[in-house]
Every structure is written in C-alpha cells, then in structure tokens.
Amino acid sequence: MSTVLILGAGSDMAVAIARKYAREKYNVQLAARKLEYLVPLQQDLQIRYGITATVHAFDALDTASHAAFYASLPVKPDQVICVFGYLGNQETAQDDWEEAQRIIATNYTGAVSILNIVANDYAARKSGTIVGISSVAGVRGRQSNYMYGSAKAGFTAYLAGLRNRLYHDGVHVLSVQPGFVATRMTEHLALPPLLTATPEQVANAVFSAAAAKKNVIYVKWFWRYIMLLIRNIPEGMFKKMKM
C-alpha cells in the first residue's frame, strides 16, 4: 500500500485531498500545527476507508524543526502534497512587516524548507512524487494581493526548478494552480460560481494529475486561458488597471 503525506492537513482542501487518497487506498499521514484539528479526520479516514492514518505535528514556520519532523515519520511517504498556505491581509502586510513576513514564510520559505528535505530524500531513493499547491495569484502581481501573489510566484518557480532537477532522478513534481476554490478561507468573498472549484474537484484533479505525471494543472480548464490572457496584457496597461 502506498502512503501520502499531507502538509497543512487542517484546511478544507486538505480534507478533500486526504479523503480522495484514502478512497484510493493510500495510507495517509496528516501533518499540521494543531494535532487536535487532525484527530477527528484521522478517525474518519480510518473508519470510512479502512486505511491507516497517522497525525504529526508540523509547523511550516519553524524551519529548524523540519529535518527532525521528516526523520520522525513512521514510514517514508511515496507522495508528498504541500497544501498549506496563508492568504494574509494585503493592506496590513504593507505596513506591518510581521504580517508580510508571515505570508512569505508560510507560502514560500516554509514550503521550500520542507520540500528541500523531501527532494533530497526522493533524489537519493530515485522515486517519489511531490505535489505543490501554488496559486494563480502567482502569475502576475496585482495591487490587491501581491504579498501573497509574490510568495506563490516564488513557490511556483521553485516547483518548476525542482521538477527540472528531479526529472533526472525519476522523481515527479506536480504544480497545482487552482483558481478560485470555495473554502472557509474564501467564504467571505463573492466568487463567480462558474470559475470556482469545490475542494473535492481540486482533490480529484490532484489525484489523477499526479497519477498521470502531469506537470502543471489548473483545476478548471478555462483558468489556463484566463491566465494566458492575464500574462499577455502589456505591463504599461496592466499597471493602470484596478485589480
């Protein structure tokens, strides 16, 4: 039986991903800061799908602990999915370095720190799959969320580089750029229904894309074209837009 490690397992998207993998008979390792958030999900996965689920304390911001965290896993996972992220508050982050730093550290440096460790292990073992949940916000900086966007842009570039490097070791890296996803994190936003995916749709897309060794996916297909469009707006025009 294969094992998947889910980093940031407390979120709605992570719950859907965990259930999808468990339904496909993966054992699941759930990692997040608050263990008490994970215990109900652990029971749920075991009862519903008859697999083994374990819980592990993991703090993306505490990079010094990452090596020990990875070493302590009871078995090395066949797949690692990096789901954690922090949207933060753009305006606060403009004035408050604490907030800006938290956005950068959660979405970029924290992710890089743990995935470096996983990558080296997988490279040595010549197997494994790494999935990173990045964001379309990373495609182009916009005034409304460029703190988050720039950190995700860094993460997207990191995943691309990692894919290039690990390809030669037989290790696969999948970048996921979900567009809008209806979760608790976005429930206060008025998202256009047609463009918004459910966490379950993200989970299904991640599972099949990882199995098919896809490189980059956007859960709902038209996001690829929206991003193509956004990428191609001349900067002179883009900077004048309010978005």
Q: Is-contact 112 132, C-beta < 8 A?
A: no
Using the rule CB under 8 A, is 8 a contact of another protein? no
Q: Of the two residues 188 and 242, which places its CB atom closer to another protein in the complex?
A: 188
CB of 215 to another protein, least distance (A): 31
Question: Footprint of another protein on residues 46-75 (CB under 8 A)?
Answer: 47-48
Q: Which of 40, 74, 161, 170 binds another protein (CB under 8 A)?
A: 40
Among candidate residues 108, 100, 185, the one with its CA nearest the CA of residue 147 = 100
Question: Footprint of another protein on residues 172-201 (CB under 8 A)?
Answer: 184, 187-190
Number of helices (H), then strands (E), in the chain: 10, 9
Using the rule CB under 8 A, is 15 a contact of another protein? yes
- Which residues belong to the active site? 148
CB of 57 to another protein, least distance (A): 16
CB of 124 to another protein, least distance (A): 37
Number of residues that bind another protein (CB under 8 A): 15
Question: Footprint of another protein on residues 80-99 (CB under 8 A)?
Answer: none
CA distance linking residue 215 with residue 154, whole number of Å: 17
CA distance linking residue 39 with residue 30, whole number of Å: 9
Using the rule CB under 8 A, is 41 a contact of another protein? yes
CA distance linking residue 83 with residue 155, whole number of Å: 12
Among candidate residues 164, 242, 163, 243, the one with its CA nearest the CA of residue 210 = 163
Using the rule CB under 8 A, is 37 a contact of another protein? yes
Structural tokens at position 225 = 């074209």
Q: In angstroms, how far is CA 13 from the centroid of its own chain?
A: 9
Using the rule CB under 8 A, is 231 a contact of another protein? no
Q: Of the two residues 25 and 48, which places its CB atom closer to another protein in the complex?
A: 48
Q: Of the two residues 95 and 187, which places its CB atom closer to another protein in the complex?
A: 187
Q: Of the two residues 50 and 236, which places its CB atom closer to another protein in the complex?
A: 50
CA distance linking residue 152 with residue 141, whole number of Å: 10
Q: Of the two residues 94 and 144, which places its CB atom closer to another protein in the complex?
A: 144
What proportions of the chain, in percent to the nearest 5, are helix, strand and coil?
55, 15, 30
In the chain, what is the straight-line distance between the N-terminal and C-terminal CA atoms, in Å? 46
Q: Give the interface with another protein as residue ranges (CB under 8 A).
A: 10, 12, 15, 37, 40-41, 43-44, 47-48, 184, 187-190
